[in-house]
Amino acid sequence: MAIILPGTAVGIRARDGVVLATDKRVTYEGFVLSRMAKKVHPVTSRCGVAFAGLMGDIGYLTRLLKLEAKMYELEFGREIKTRSLAKVLSVILYSYKLFPMFTEVIVGGYDEAPALYILDPVGSLIEEKYAAVGSGHQLAIGYIEPRYKEDISLEEAEQLAIGAIKTVIERDVLTGDGVDILVFTREGYREKEYLFKTTRE
């Protein structure tokens, strides 16, 4: 039986940038523990990560990647590139293959061009144009695939990512409460947050 990693994250490569998006819900054994969790993080000014899975593993990997990126910058005098960051994460995840992290990761950023990579819990690394991970990945891919086009603009990609997460929220109890967006362009990154009303006032 496959392990279901709670939450949903999506990544979309556009012609002038990359969009990463996640939901905000944290669940454990059928209970909602938080409606304000952050599962998408910038690592440098040009690349970041989006997760689905256990928050402990997400926090650990985020701190470790920021440390590795800072060490790279101090040693080489420039920020680590997106593909290099994805390879570092692949090595880290593979080193835990006997006791894997309960998380799947999307790495995205902008170097000379937009780049997007997906990693499974044991570090398999695949470059993609769009990706979804977590408990709602099938619903998210089903939403994105027919709407994606090669020359999609950044604004269209952002709306596509939001629409995918909203669609998952309607059907997946492990995903919910809002969307965090991280957008990378040549100029750097910006973050957005959308909260969804889930209870009556």
List, by residue number, the catalytic residues.
8
Q: Which helix (H) or strand (E) holds 45?
A: none
Rounded distance between C-alpha atoms, residue 14 and residue 158, angstroms: 9
| Half-sphere exposure in the Cβ direction for 8 (13 Å, CA) | 30
Residue with tokens 């650990």: 60
**Whether 89 contacts 67, CB under 8 Å:** no
Q: Where are the beta strands (DSSP E) in 82-177?
A: 103-110, 114-119, 125-127, 130-134
